[in-house]
Amino acid sequence: MTIGGRMGRRALALACAALAFAVAAQQATPGYEPIPGQPGKDVVWVPMPDSQVERMLDLAQVTAADYVIDLGSGDGRTVIAAAKRGARALGVEFNPDLVTLSRHRAREAGVAERATFVEGDLFEADLSQATVVTLFLLDDINVRLRPRLLGLKPGTRIATNTFKLGDWEHDAETGAPGCYAWCFIYLWVVPARVEGQWRTAEGVLSLTQRYQKVSGMLGEGPLAEPVQGRLAGDRLTLTGGGSEHRGRVVGDSIDGTVTTAGAIRPWKADRILGSGGGSRVK
């Protein structure tokens, strides 16, 4: 090899390295800056104030044990804030420029290993692994998403800014004193499906369900007692006939306790095969 050949190859290698660095720098520092109010596929983009992001994550009690999915993740701020709490978080965003920007900001924040972003349609996103789903969309879009949200694992938390989930009553809310726009955060907890008939030591328990609200009859014939209750994820509470039943719903069984006149004893219910069940949604 001649001196000239070695120098030529070295120059070529340096040029290739410089080009690669320039490309990487361009990818790492996108010049794109979104404009509040710019149109998107389903909604216009409006950035949520960072204080509201933190309040949303607080209300959903996001910890390092969670997997957060933000639908319509915009510039990535909710996903990045969740990742800073140690959670794994995924943003689903239709705009490829916002996806690139979000990835850049996650790298800048040092959370790129926990904060990931995909370009996609929020109505087609796989939500099955989520423990928390966050939304800053519109009422009608939330309602379209509602059947899928109700189908998630009981106990999954759904947090929204401003907009609700139709007639599915929220479980908790928080507002900000002095706030003038996008002020309220709402929280829902996906309820277990208990509608149907259950076999208990006290007789057949027949339940109807409207989201997290439950009502029905315990026993049969003239001795049947009306019951009313509520679900908090997979935790069921029923009151009626002078007793309070509490239990955890696991598949086709409920295990817990019944309290009558201060006395507590074990309580169990097994779903009667063929009765079906589910959270009714109009």
CATH code assigned at 169:
3.40.50.150
> How many domains are contained in the chain?
2
Angle between the 77-84 and 50-59 helix axes, to the nearest 10 degrees? Answer: 60
202 and 172 in a common domain: no
Q: Using alpha carbons only, how large is the chain's radius of gyration in Å?
A: 26
Domain range for residue 58? 50-189
Domain-embedded: residue 10: no
pLDDT at 14: 37
Select from 189, 223, 250 the last residue of a domain: 189
| One domain for residues 200 and 172 | no
Most confident of 4-18, 43-57, 137-151: 137-151
Both 63 and 184 in one domain: the answer is yes
**Phi first, then psi: what are they for 191, rounded to 5°?**
-85, 150
Q: Are both 60 and 169 inside the same structural domain?
A: yes
User: Are 87 and 208 in the same domain?
Assistant: no
pLDDT for residue 281 is more than 50: no
Same domain, 208 and 162: no
- Where a domain ends, among 125, 160, 189? 189
Rounded-to-integer distance, Cα 82 and Cα 127, Å = 16
Rounded Cα gap, residues 264 and 282, in angstroms: 38
Q: Residue 19 domain-assigned?
A: no
Read off the CATH number of the domain in which 211 is found. Answer: 2.40.128.30
* Whether pLDDT at 278 is above 50: no
For residue 83, pLDDT beyond 50:
yes
Mean pLDDT for 221-227 is 90
The pLDDT of 82-100, averaged and rounded, is 97
Please name which of 95, 93, 117 lies closest in space to residue 38, comparing C-alpha atoms.
Answer: 95
Check whether residue 174 and residue 206 sit in a common domain.
no
Which residue in 60, 108, 49, 119 sits closest to 85, CA to CA? 60
Residue with tokens 């120098």: 7
CA 132 – CA 65 distance, rounded (Å): 11
**Residue 273: its pLDDT value, please?**
64
**Beta pairing class for 67-71 and 132-135:** parallel
**In this structure, are 54 and 169 located in the same domain?**
yes
pLDDT digits (tens, 9 = 90+) for 236-261: 999 998 999 999 999 999 999 999 99
The mean predicted confidence, pLDDT, of the chain is: 87
Quick check: 155 and 189 in contact, CB under 8 A? yes
Torsion of CA 192, 198, 204, 209, to 10 degrees: 30
What distance in Å separates the CA atoms of residue 166 and residue 139, rounded to the nearest whole number? 7
Q: Would you say 25 and 31 are in contact if contact means Cβ atoms under 8 Å apart? A: no
pLDDT 10s digits, 28-71: 445 788 887 788 888 888 889 899 999 999 999 999 999 999 99
Q: Is residue 40 part of a domain?
A: no
Please give the pLDDT value at position 275: 46
Q: Which residue, 167, 189, 211, sits at the end of a domain?
A: 189
> Quick check: is 45 in a domain?
no
